[in-house]
């Protein structure tokens, strides 16, 4: 079995800010690192300001201290509690950032996608244009972070239905997160490899997409429609409450005062959206809406409210 030269790139996909240091690339063949750099998948990043001490067995991280010597030469050192001053080679301070754009561009090119690739959400979601698959022109999208806490918000921005083809990097999302047939969803590492260049298994994509059959149109029952309407109203109400709480928390922080987070009850939510408490209870317990679940968790957590961004 051939080694997957893109493995380290795939494994970085669930890191919000993927940056490698010299130690991260130590197990990757130098020719692979060189090729990844040539393809601009790995890009030089800012120099590391801290490194792991390799002079002892404690694996402690220390701040790098630059010292200028006569003649203009700068050398770098860290302090080890056990061994004192240790020189750090400049090569150990190099860092590389991951750029997924060349992989996505290669995918769009292999599929003969029409239209300009667009980054819809920075480093998270891309529109790759349209490609002819299974005899139809289909929108091609790529996404990263389907298993992250804000996956529901990202999924809500993706196209829905049987037409879109979706490629994802990193872990797959929960069942039901995406309103797209399973046959139209691809993990990028399963259809892409690096030999001398980036290779895309277009035939595997075409075979899988051709298996998408039109499903019978399922009519929503009156109860389902009511529950969906309640879920939508709950999300709008929770959104407003979270924004209000976020503002109150910020004011408390600015005044250096503690903030007591009020508990949001189903009774309060029911009164706010003008439905019965039992309707709210059923909507929360029976719905598979991931965004609703995340928002309910958020409104009960000061830390999650601080990070809320929508």
DSSP 8-state assignment for residue 55 = S
Q: Which residues of 167-197 are buried (b: 16+ CB within 10 A; e: fewer)?
A: bbbbeebeeebbebbebbbbebbebbbbeee
Residue 75 to residue 87: CA distance in whole angstroms: 7
Range of the domain at 195: 101-210
The pLDDT of residue 195 is 87
Kindly report, residue by residue over 132-146, the tens digit of the pLDDT. 998 889 999 999 999
pLDDT for residue 213 is more than 60: no
- Per the document, the length of the chain is 310
Q: Is residue 13 part of a domain?
A: yes
Among 163, 187, 210, identify where a domain stops.
Answer: 210
Instruction: Could you list the beta-strand ranges (E) of the chain.
Output: 19-21, 42-44, 50-52, 61-63, 65-68, 74-80, 84-87, 95-98, 118-121, 125-133, 136-144, 165-169, 185-187, 192-194, 198-200
For the record, the structure tokens of 15 come out as: 């890191």
Contact assessment for residue 290 and residue 155, using Cβ atoms and an 8 Å cutoff: yes
Boundary (domain end) residue, out of 166, 184, 210: 210
- The answer to whether residue 137 is domain-embedded is yes
- Tens digits of per-residue pLDDT, 251-285? 888 888 899 999 999 999 999 999 999 999 998 98
| 246 and 156 part of one domain | no
The CA-atom distances, in angstroms, between 15 and each of 20, 123, 124, 168, 177 are 11, 11, 11, 14, 20
**Residue 166, in any domain of the structure:** yes
Tokens of 51: 């490194």
Does residue 298 share a domain with residue 245?
A: yes
Q: Are residues 120 and 194 both part of a single domain?
A: yes
Q: Give tens-digit pLDDT for 54-75.
A: 899 988 999 999 999 988 899 9
Q: Do 82 and 27 sit in the same domain of this protein?
A: yes
Q: Does residue 59 form part of some domain?
A: yes
Read off the pTM. Answer: 0.63
Same domain, 243 and 162: no
Q: How confident is the model at residue 26 (pLDDT cuts 50, 70, 90)?
A: confident
Instruction: Judge if 248 and 296 occupy the same domain.
Output: yes
As for how many domains the chain has, the answer is 3
Residues 116, 186 within the same domain: yes
Same domain, 93 and 106: no
Within a domain: residue 215? no
């Amino acid at each position: 079995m051939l080694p997957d030269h893109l493995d380290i790139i795939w494994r970085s996909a669930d890191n919000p800010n993927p940056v490698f240091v010299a130690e991260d690339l130590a197990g990757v063949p130098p020719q692979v690192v060189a090729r990844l750099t040539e393809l601009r998948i790995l890009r030089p990043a800012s120099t590391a300001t801290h490194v792991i001490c390799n002079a002892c067995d404690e694996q402690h991280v220390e701040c790098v201290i630059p010292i200028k010597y006569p003649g203009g030469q700068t050398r770098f050192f860290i302090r080890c509690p056990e061994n004192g001053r240790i020189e750090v080679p400049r090569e150990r301070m190099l860092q590389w950032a991951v750029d997924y754009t060349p992989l996505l561009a290669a995918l769009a090119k292999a599929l003969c996608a029409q239209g300009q690739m667009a980054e819809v959400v920075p480093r998270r979601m891309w529109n790759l244009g349209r490609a002819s698959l299974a005899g139809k022109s289909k929108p091609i999208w790529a996404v990263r972070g389907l298993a992250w806490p804000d996956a529901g918000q990202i999924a809500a921005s993706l196209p829905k239905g049987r037409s879109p083809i979706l490629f994802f990097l990193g872990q797959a999302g929960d069942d039901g997160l995406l309103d797209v047939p399973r046959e139209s969803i691809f993990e990028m590492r399963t259809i892409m490899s690096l030999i001398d260049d980036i290779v895309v298994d277009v035939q595997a994509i075409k075979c899988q997409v051709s298996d998408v059959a039109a499903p019978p149109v399922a009519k929503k029952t009156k109860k389902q429609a009511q529950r969906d309407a309640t879920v939508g109203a709950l999300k709008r109400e929770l959104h407003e409450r979270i924004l209000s709480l976020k503002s109150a928390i910020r004011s408390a922080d600015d005044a250096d005062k503690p903030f007591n987070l009020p508990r949001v009850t189903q009774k309060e939510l029911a009164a706010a959206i003008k439905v019965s408490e039992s309707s709210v209870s059923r909507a929360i317990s029976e719905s598979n809406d991931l965004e609703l679940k995340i928002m309910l968790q958020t409104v009960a957590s000061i830390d999650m409210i601080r990070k809320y961004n929508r």
